[in-house]
Structure 1
Amino acid sequence: MKLPAAMALLLALISAAAQAADFDAAQTRRILGHGPWPPAESADRSNRLSGNRDAVRLGAMLFGEPRLSGNGAISCQTCHRPDHGWSEAKARSEGLRLQDRNAPGLLNVRLQRWFGWDGANDSLWAAGIRPILKDSEMGGSAAATAKLLREDAPLACLAQRVAPDYATGDDEAVLVLAAKALAAFQETINSPRTPFDEFRDALAANDRAGMARYPEAAQRGLALFTGRGQCGMCHTGANFSNGEFHDTGLVFFLNDPDRKPGTPRRADPGRHGGIAQLKANRFNLLGRYNDDASGQASIPARHVEQQHRNWGEFKVPSLRNLTATAPYMHNGSKPSLRDVILHYSDLDEDRLHSDGEAILKPLKLAEGEIADLQAFLESLSVPNDTAARYENLRREAAACR
């Protein structure tokens, strides 16, 4: 049987590109799978405000609004810093109290399927409600949020534009409106093309001159990433993440500075605890605030179930714009990219529980390989103007009357 013409053409392209770049055919397929970038935009069906320009402005205004917190001093940007890749610069974030984890970055957050390190939320807008209401983070309330949106002139102006009858709704409905506006804004925080993307597209086109512009160290690191390192088993797709959860051999137990002598150390259950929280959350996509009438958006929450292996699993982060978001890992325990690479190079297999990640093995990297892999990871980062665009949106929002 003959291959269809399109398939034959693709195989020929992969073969030629692999020879041109010194990657084998399997590696070339994997590299091409990390694009194209940027991916096509699509609205969140569960959020009727997704893509609404006034909702984006309202969300930007709320993102930097400390009055959402109980003490009037903490906003979303306290932990998700626009000047730090929309992530936390401290190892563990601090709201009203010290948190167990490092706040993840928000660049390209619209591409995720689960939200938070443990996936305790199945929508971006529900993920925004959690810190507002959580006593140890912002310590706010539905009543205070609704009061703010009804009484603050610019916020009320924008809220009325996106939902003319919002002020007559109950406090919880107004809280959800605020969260959906926050999500609409966060969907716009996207990173630009990188040197890797230029190389990937040149590889797809068999453009030898374009491929040659990609640094040799980054190419060697990419070969390791797609080959012996097997990094692409989890860091897949254009966003370099499969969106799921894995145990990567980090310590389970938390370092609690206020722990009293003789009391047991707390462990972070990761995805195991996140699934329990998701199921119990009235704001999940099985609830009444889901705007998707088709029911498609709620399918993941309907079918996800706790498994023993979920204990200590955390979400695979994107690798894009890593240079702006140190420290790394869910607990902020790795100060630099080199430290992350060394973790996988010297991985303690005894730490992985019996039904954990069978694919993880110590890479035992040579010093040159460490440098090459770091060069590749750094090629996934470029400066971006998202912080400046955020400030422009806030100025536009403040002018609403």
Structure 2
Amino acid sequence: MRSSAAPGWPICPPTWPSRSPGATANACSARCGRRCSGELAFAVGRQRRPADAARCRCLPTAGRRRLAGGGGGCGLGLAGARRWPRRCGPTAGDALRAAGAAVPAAGRTAGRRCHDAGAPPRHELPAVAAGARRRPLAGRWPAVAHARHLGAAAGGAAGRAHPGAAATRRPPVMGLAPTRVWRRVAPARAVAALALASLVCGAQAAEGLLDFSTEERQAIAAHGPWPPPAAIDPSNRRQRDANAVALGRRLFFDPGLSASGQVSCASCHVPARAFQDGRPVAVGQGPGVRNTPGLMDVAGQRWFGWGGSADSLWAASLRALRDPAEMGGDEAALQRRLAREPALAAVPEGDARLVAAAKALAAFQARLVSPRTAFDDFRDALFRGDDAAAARYPLPAQRGLRLFVGRGRCHLCHVGPRFSHGEFADIGVPFFVPGGVDPGRHAGLQEVRGSRFNRLGPFADDGGASGVATRHLRSEHRHFGEFRVPGLRNLRQTAPYFHAGSAATLTEVVRHYSTLDPDRLHADGERILVPLQLRDDEVADLVAFLETLSS
């Protein structure tokens, strides 16, 4: 049968005998196929009214939720509320109390949690009831869980309460009509309280976490976990050598490696800026034409530099040492400085010594890993199904993330934990530079294929085994004006953006993709980028998400 006051809830038949709370609960559970509330079973047995068994509500195990601090193991189902949102918690209880209604106290036994709604063991009794001053409830069942709370609320057969009830008094339990407990709460007030609690819970759940689809959750999960396993370069056997890391650290901060003696690697790769310099274009021994790339997580890249002119981190480091615009290119002075390092003095002078220094620099840079961010915590919580923890992620960032993996299709290029597929693309940013144009990947391909210091050359420690991608490189016209797709971590510290530093803020970056001209792109028939035509609030949401990728 079903009760008009509680639509949708199975009700135990009123013909069952009420010999004891355990028998009533077990009989109810056997009939309904679900666990039955122990508190109601106790009330039924105590009143010895078979008709009261009709109000023993069988609760679906999966549908129980913790309400107002109550345990999730057993408890009363509120009328008309079959499943409560996970994050109701104290908010639902506050709403009920504000309306003057009773709050279910099921499962609250002096800090202990009830794990079974059937006949309860003695260890679930409150600690005060098990003490020296314990008094039974006038011949009733003192071992029944929560008996003190119910007995005190109902007044007891002799009108007496347990001595410890005053200290731990709980509000009366709802759902015991027509006993005196239920008569304390007017049905109209209870219905109003339930409606208010449902609205509060629903609003809280909606505000805390967006309803991400399965596809969206899968796309989000693909951006982790963080940090990923360390990337190992087989062409540099010194990468994991602690002595090489220490040597690389010293060389990185040493201005003596430059021709002027005033510029070090750290001059452009500033640690406080995620190893970037904050300038539109780099300034070393002379002015550059490209923005300084940050070095955090650099070991995970496949190609190095905006044009991919190096296929290993040590080759990119060597290129900077020999470039006249960066470190000066005074090789004689550089050899003399390196000879003062005991670890390099024994290395033959010339390219071998330069390569040894470059591999030490690469070993140090490979240790630069970004810390975890708010996004990583959100991604992990979503992945393990912890919606309560995921709901702490800001809503604007959640909306921006939905755009990122949805309509914006940003995740097609900014993939994986590092938010980059490591390849190159034309995104419609002009590639004109003072005195000409920057060919981007087109020139980078020619340089890396012709270098003696690539993975196929004599200085690779694995004999060219890791140079398969380099071997199959082909330069095509479409590569002109393409630049490396950067990772998106640490964006707050690495402004300005794009290969020439032409975007001063993340808002400018997002607006570029919102209004780009598809006719400006030459993607050889590939149409990934389209103007997003974002509203101002969507621009703000996407920026909010991108900012959470920084610690």
TM-score calculated relative to the size of structure 2: 0.61
1:325 corresponds in structure 2 to 494
1:373 equivalenced with 2:534 (yes/no): no
Matches within 5 A, 1:61-80: 61-80=250-269
Query: What per-residue deviation string (whole Å, max 9, x for no partner) do you get for residues 365-398 of structure 1?
Result: 001101110110011100xxxxxxxxxxxxxxxx
CA distance in structure 1 between the aligned counterparts of 2:386 and 2:321, rounded to whole angstroms: 50
Q: What is the aligned length?
A: 344
Q: 2:483 aligns with which of 308, 314, 321?
A: 314
CA distance in structure 2 between the aligned counterparts of 1:100 and 1:80, rounded to whole angstroms: 16
1:182 equivalenced with 2:354 (yes/no): no
Q: CA deviation at 1:168?
A: 4.5
Amino acid in structure 2 at the alignment position of 1:268: D
2:432 corresponds in structure 1 to 253
Secondary structure, counterpart of 2:316 in structure 1: helix
Q: 1:281 aligns with which of 448, 451, 456?
A: 451
Which of the pair has the greater relative contact order for Cα pairs under 8 Å at 6+ separation? 1
Query: What per-residue deviation string (whole Å, max 9, x for no partner) do you get for residues 80-104 of structure 1?
Result: 1112110121101112221110110
CA distance in structure 2 between the aligned counterparts of 1:354 and 1:93, rounded to whole angstroms: 28
CA distance in structure 1 between the aligned counterparts of 2:531 and 2:470, rounded to whole angstroms: 34
Q: CA deviation at 1:356?
A: 6.5
Larger proportion of helix: 1
Matches within 5 A, 1:316-395: 316-353=485-522, 355=524, 357-382=526-551
1:199 equivalenced with 2:378 (yes/no): yes
Matches within 5 A, 1:217-228: 217-228=396-407
CA distance in structure 1 between the aligned counterparts of 2:210 and 2:417, rounded to whole angstroms: 20
CA distance in structure 1 between the aligned counterparts of 2:330 and 2:219, rounded to whole angstroms: 46
Amino acid in structure 1 at the alignment position of 2:542: L
1:82 corresponds in structure 2 to 271
Q: CA deviation at 1:218?
A: 0.5
1:297 equivalenced with 2:466 (yes/no): yes
Which segment drifts farther, 324-333 or 77-86? 77-86
Q: CA deviation at 1:171?
A: 2.0
CA distance in structure 2 between the aligned counterparts of 1:48 and 1:168, rounded to whole angstroms: 16
Cα contact 1:272–1:312 (8 A) shared by 2: yes
Query: What per-residue deviation string (whole Å, max 9, x for no partner) do you get for residues 3-39 of structure 1?
Result: xxxxxxxxxxxxxxxx974122222111110001000
1:169 corresponds in structure 2 to 348
Q: CA deviation at 1:364?
A: 0.6
| CA distance 1:356–1:188, change in 2 (3 Å) | farther
Q: 2:423 aligns with which of 228, 244, 247?
A: 244
CA distance in structure 2 between the aligned counterparts of 1:199 and 1:27, rounded to whole angstroms: 13
- Segments of structure 2 that go 5 or more residues without pairing to the other structure are 1-205
| CA distance 1:99–1:141, change in 2 (3 Å) | same
Q: CA deviation at 1:44?
A: 1.4
Secondary structure, counterpart of 2:467 in structure 1: helix
**CA radius of gyration, larger in:** 2
CA distance in structure 1 between the aligned counterparts of 2:286 and 2:437, rounded to whole angstroms: 18
Amino acid in structure 1 at the alignment position of 2:454: N
Amino acid in structure 1 at the alignment position of 2:316: A
Percent of aligned positions that are identical: 50
1:271 equivalenced with 2:445 (yes/no): no
TM-score calculated relative to the size of structure 1: 0.83
2:203 corresponds in structure 1 to none
Which segment drifts farther, 43-52 or 351-360? 351-360
1:211 corresponds in structure 2 to 390
| CA distance 1:27–1:39, change in 2 (3 Å) | same
Secondary structure, counterpart of 1:121 in structure 2: coil
CA distance in structure 1 between the aligned counterparts of 2:388 and 2:211, rounded to whole angstroms: 14
Secondary structure, counterpart of 1:296 in structure 2: coil
1:13 corresponds in structure 2 to none
| CA distance 1:356–1:138, change in 2 (3 Å) | farther
Amino acid in structure 1 at the alignment position of 2:309: A
CA distance in structure 2 between the aligned counterparts of 1:21 and 1:39, rounded to whole angstroms: 27
CA distance in structure 2 between the aligned counterparts of 1:58 and 1:141, rounded to whole angstroms: 21
Runs of 4+ in 1 over 4 A off after TM superposition: none
1:232 corresponds in structure 2 to 411
Cα contact 1:100–1:331 (8 A) shared by 2: yes
- Segments of structure 1 that go 5 or more residues without pairing to the other structure are 1-18, 161-165, 257-264, 383-401
Cα contact 1:246–1:357 (8 A) shared by 2: no
Q: CA deviation at 1:142?
A: 4.0
| CA distance 1:356–1:80, change in 2 (3 Å) | farther
1:27 equivalenced with 2:224 (yes/no): no
| CA distance 1:356–1:251, change in 2 (3 Å) | farther
CA distance in structure 2 between the aligned counterparts of 1:244 and 1:292, rounded to whole angstroms: 23
CA distance in structure 1 between the aligned counterparts of 2:432 and 2:414, rounded to whole angstroms: 25
Cα contact 1:328–1:336 (8 A) shared by 2: yes
CA distance in structure 2 between the aligned counterparts of 1:202 and 1:381, rounded to whole angstroms: 18
Cα contact 2:296–2:370 (8 A) shared by 1: yes
| CA distance 1:184–1:356, change in 2 (3 Å) | farther
Q: CA deviation at 1:357?
A: 4.9
CA distance in structure 1 between the aligned counterparts of 2:514 and 2:301, rounded to whole angstroms: 28
